[in-house]
Amino acid sequence: MIIEAIILTIITAATPLVIAAMGELVTERAGVLNLGVEGMMIMGAVAAFAVAQMSGSPSLGVLAGIATGALFSLLFGFLTLTLVANQVATGLALTILGLGVSGNLGESFVGVPGVKLPQIVFPVLSDIPFVGPIFFKQDIVFYASIALVVGVNWFLFRTRAGLKIRAIGDSHGSAHALGISVIRTRYLAVMFGGACAGLAGAQLSLIYTPQWVENMSAGRGWIALALVVFASWRPWRVLAGGYLFGAVTIGQLHAQALGLAIPSQFLSALPYAATIIVLIIISHNRRTTLINTPACLGKPFVPDR
């Protein structure tokens, strides 16, 4: 069925956006603005592809993508949390660095057939018409993205550790006065965000398009950043927004396939145009935005000051 095929492609396109945005949501809830998501995502993509190609195991490739994203985030954490460098400038610099390094590392893998991560098939359930292929015949990264949304929502709003993260994001000075380790907690949040970005990159090179193409993240890291604002820092809204942006991405591909008399450049720009439009709409409701925005987002913390 055409509708079933469209939904499946939307799921594949939305999954990396949801995963990367969930990681960034936790990072920002801790008061850290990491604009290096794009760089961490592309580094995760090249690491995942390289390890999967050399080992023949896509599962090892996924783990490599996660580890690379987390390690790359440590560099961001060291510069911004330990050396107190500007978070915006550091994130932008690491994105440029990630794009350059990944291009060099992946040069020998261009045109090499990839190793695709297999699907998990649930017996009987996967045979149910329409519903089966969509929900019970997917790769593990899709299920991980759903579990991530549920888990992060529970963690942030139902656990003591989640309360600490939100307290740090809203007032790191008060959190420090209460004995909470602000820097250590922010390091952990940044590493979690980097690991999620690396997993999103692994999904791109092992599932979405199982091959290595330079700059294959194609701005998805920036969309993930906008998605966090679109969702007002709420996990379930990230899921809905991710699938909305995924639908826009797939919609422009189907429009091109149907040969509609619309310039291909305009169709390719639709996902990013949609991002700008959403941000403009959100900016009109400043009261809601200010209420949900972590008060210390992007502000450095130095205990001695």
Residue 53: give its domain's CATH number.
Answer: 1.10.3470
Question: Contact, 168 vs 180, CB < 8 A?
Answer: yes
* pLDDT at 151 (0 to 100): 97
CB atoms within 10 A of CB 54: 13
pTM of the model: 0.92
Question: Contact, 210 vs 114, CB < 8 A?
Answer: yes
Question: Contact, 66 vs 202, CB < 8 A?
Answer: yes
Distances (CA, A) of 200 to 13, 77, 114, 301: 11, 20, 17, 29
Q: Is 160 exposed, middle or buried (0-12, 13-18, 19+ CB in 10 A)?
A: exposed
pLDDT of 305 > 60? The answer is: no
pLDDT of 288 > 70? The answer is: no
Out of 53-62, 191-200, 249-258, least confident range: 249-258
* pLDDT at 114 (0 to 100): 82
CA distance 110 to 234: 38
Q: What is the mean pLDDT of residues 282-288?
A: 67
Could you tell me if residue 303 is inside a domain?
A: no
Tokens of residue 285, six digits:
């409701």
Three-point CA angle 16, 22, 26, nearest 5°: 150
Could you tell me if residue 158 is inside a domain?
A: yes
Q: Is 212 helix (H, G, I), strand (E, B) or coil?
A: strand
Number of structural domains found in the chain: 1
* pLDDT at 103 (0 to 100): 92
Q: Is 142 helix (H, G, I), strand (E, B) or coil?
A: helix
Q: What is the mean pLDDT of residues 43-51?
A: 96
CA distance 302 to 168: 13
At which residue do the structure tokens 């599962």 appear?
59
CA distance 48 to 212: 10
Could you tell me if residue 299 is inside a domain?
A: no
Could you tell me if residue 60 is inside a domain?
A: yes
Mean pLDDT of the chain: 89
Question: Contact, 207 vs 139, CB < 8 A?
Answer: yes
Q: What percent of the chain has pLDDT over 90?
A: 64
pLDDT of 176 > 90? The answer is: yes
Could you tell me if residue 76 is inside a domain?
A: yes
At which residue do the structure tokens 């998501």 appear?
37
* pLDDT at 287 (0 to 100): 66
Could you tell me if residue 304 is inside a domain?
A: no
Select, from the ranges 2-11, 124-133, 199-208, 280-289, the one with the highest average predicted confidence (pLDDT). 199-208
* pLDDT at 231 (0 to 100): 87
pLDDT grade for 131, boundaries at 50, 70 and 90 = confident
* pLDDT at 251 (0 to 100): 75
Q: What percent of the chain has pLDDT over 70?
A: 90
Question: Contact, 91 vs 79, CB < 8 A?
Answer: no
Could you tell me if residue 297 is inside a domain?
A: no
Q: What is the mean pLDDT of residues 14-26?
A: 96
Amino acid at the residue 127? D
Q: Domain residues for 174?
A: 2-292
pLDDT of 18 > 80? The answer is: yes
pLDDT of 107 > 60? The answer is: yes
Pick from 74, 216, 210, 227: which is nearest to 145 by CA? Answer: 227
Tokens of residue 141, six digits:
């990264």
Select, from the ranges 34-38, 103-107, 250-254, the one with the highest average predicted confidence (pLDDT). 34-38
